[in-house]
Amino acid sequence: MADQIKIMILSGVREQGKDMFAVQVNDEIFVLDAGLKYPDSSLFGIDVVIPDLNFFEQYGDKVAGIFLTHGHADSIGALPYILRKYDIPVFGSELTIELAKIEVKRENKKIKNHLFNVIDADTEIDFKNASISFFHTTHSIPDSLGIVVHTPAGEIVYTGDFKFDPTADPMYRTDMDRLAEIETKGVLALLSDSSNAESWYPSVSEQDIAHYVTDVFRNAKGRIIVAAKASNLNRVQEVITAAAVTGRRVLLTGRDLAKIVRTAMDLGYLDIPDGLLMRVKDLKTVPDDKTVILETGRMGEPLNSLQKMANKRHSMIRIHENDLVFIATTPSHAVETMVAETSDMVYRAGGRVIELGRDKHTSGHATGRDLQMLIDILKPKFLFPVIGEYRLMEIHRDLAIKTGMDKNNIFISHNGESYDYDFKQERFFLSAPVPGEDIMIDGSGVGDVGNIVLRDREILSDDGIFIAVVTIDRKKKKIIAQPQVTSRGFVYIKANHQLMRDAVELIKTTIANNFEHKKFDWTELKQDIRNDLEKFLYKQTNRRPVVLPVVMEVNQNRHRIAQKKAGEAEQDEKATKRPKNTKNRSPRHKTNNSNKAGKKVADKEDKE
């Protein structure tokens, strides 16, 4: 059988987060990352978004394993939903696997530990049709790895999130020698991080950031409240080190931090001096100028907590005079407005704000120069820009062309696209698509919220809801009770009595017309009421609320049956009462009458 090589873009292009890609070699599929993304403001009420799980429904029997690059949610966040239904082996570094278990256990109390396999940068796994190896990369979390799929046509390299920083701690440093070794074997295709492609200036080294954090701590006069992502262990270590250097103690807060810190400490990825950490009750005894509060969580969670602190709604902490709020991560575009709003609240509460992203150019992702350097080192035949919005992928392509790559060998892909490799022509061609839609998670529901529900939520947020309730008798074709109307988020009812009265009259007219001109149908009646109300309300207010007609029917048969039963019960009661009275009185009355009759006969005989 001729060899088959396919690259499948399952998720993670033309967007930020939700990374998941796959490489198929003959009848084996190797899935690279399984992440989620956090929703923007347009996804009302959605908790997270994950890749299309239908891929595993269709191809699950061919999937040899899921290979993880690092322990951030954009790489491991979809695992709980995949492993809930499919028993697929998962491979990752020691820290990545431990964080993946925490993520899975949050959604599934019982996890299948036998599915998790710990590997390192020196591991090479042989499968039937291909082998998988790894290499160290630099990111904001230790033990990050790139993945290499060894195929008959050459190496397929997936970087995951990465950057180059020669000054990084050894546990964070990219293995340049390993990259050079991979190049000698011939790189067929490179799937490379595009998240920071538009940044041309180099990111500040982590050593410089560590010094900067220490200086911020040293100059602060009161408490320091640090907002950071729980999974950014590099930043957490810098905060802990700065606190130790400046003689401060640290209070850890946030839903995810305790488990992540404990896991990282156990594995030796965090160095926390004895006596540095404190408990909530210690806030009363430790002076403000010796206190650091590290508030962490997912994406916007630290900012939400800061807002509660500023508005005096936090359960433990309130921002007061001389407090310094240090936002220690560079916010994404999705939360920039939230950062500005939070800063305003902090200043109103008497504190002040320092943002790391404003003072230092830092990112956990490769700059444009880093991307070009990687292409120069690996010399790939084909490039697939991934992990980034469309403009970033386009910029990545332009950067690659400047290094000498043929523009025809660079693919700007869509989620759900699949590319087959033609061995004769030595090219990739677009082939049959694979599942690539978004699956939205709302509460415990997986995929039960679609575009129609989101559209309704958007309308509700814009124009509110208008509810009309009416009771009819369809056999007599008349309205039994006066229609009742109400609204929420649409108009203030007390100030719009005439609008409500007119809406009631319109409902009556619509129902009368429906009875007169149409054969009765519940769906048509509700649709007529909805359509007429929508037109009327838009004409009166220029707004389009969600119109919800509730039509109820009087059950005449049930009413007649109830009346009949009541009548029968009344008759039974009367019939039952008569025999009882006769039985009680009859013997005495009969005896008395007999005596009287006998006496009269005796008297008559005596007279005769």
CB–CB of 518/477 below 8 Å?
A: no
- Known binding residue 450? Answer is no
- Known binding residue 497? Answer is no
- Known binding residue 396? Answer is no
The three-class DSSP label of residue 32 is: strand
Calpha distance 54→112 (Å, rounded): 21
The Cβ of residue 44 has, within 10 Å, a number of other Cβ atoms equal to: 17
> Which strands form 417-422's sheet, in the order they lie side by side?
116-118, 90-92, 63-67, 28-32, 20-25, 5-11, 417-422, 427-430
Calpha distance 150→134 (Å, rounded): 11
The three-class DSSP label of residue 435 is: coil
Show the DSSP H helices in 379-490 as ranges.
390-402, 451-463
Residue type, 54: N
The three-class DSSP label of residue 493 is: helix
Q: For 13, which DSSP code?
A: B
Q: For 12, which DSSP code?
A: -
Spatial CA neighbour of 18 closest among 440, 448, 583 = 440
Q: For tokens 């022509």, name the residue.
A: 425
Calpha distance 492→461 (Å, rounded): 16
The beta strands (E) that lie in 163-255 are given as 187-193, 224-229, 249-253
The Cβ of residue 386 has, within 10 Å, a number of other Cβ atoms equal to: 28
Calpha distance 566→562 (Å, rounded): 6
- Known binding residue 72? Answer is no
Q: Which two tokens stand for residue 8?
A: 């499948």
> Which strands form 439-442's sheet, in the order they lie side by side?
48-50, 439-442, 445-446
DSSP-assigned letters across all residues of 258-322? HHHHHHHHHTTS----TT-EE-GGGGGTS-GGGEEEEEEESTTHHHHHHHHHHTT--SS----TT
Inter-helix orientation angle 301-310/336-348, to 10°: 20
Q: For 467, which DSSP code?
A: E
Calpha distance 342→303 (Å, rounded): 7
- Known binding residue 65? Answer is no
Residue ranges for the known binding site for substrate are 361-365
Which segments are annotated as binding site? 361-365
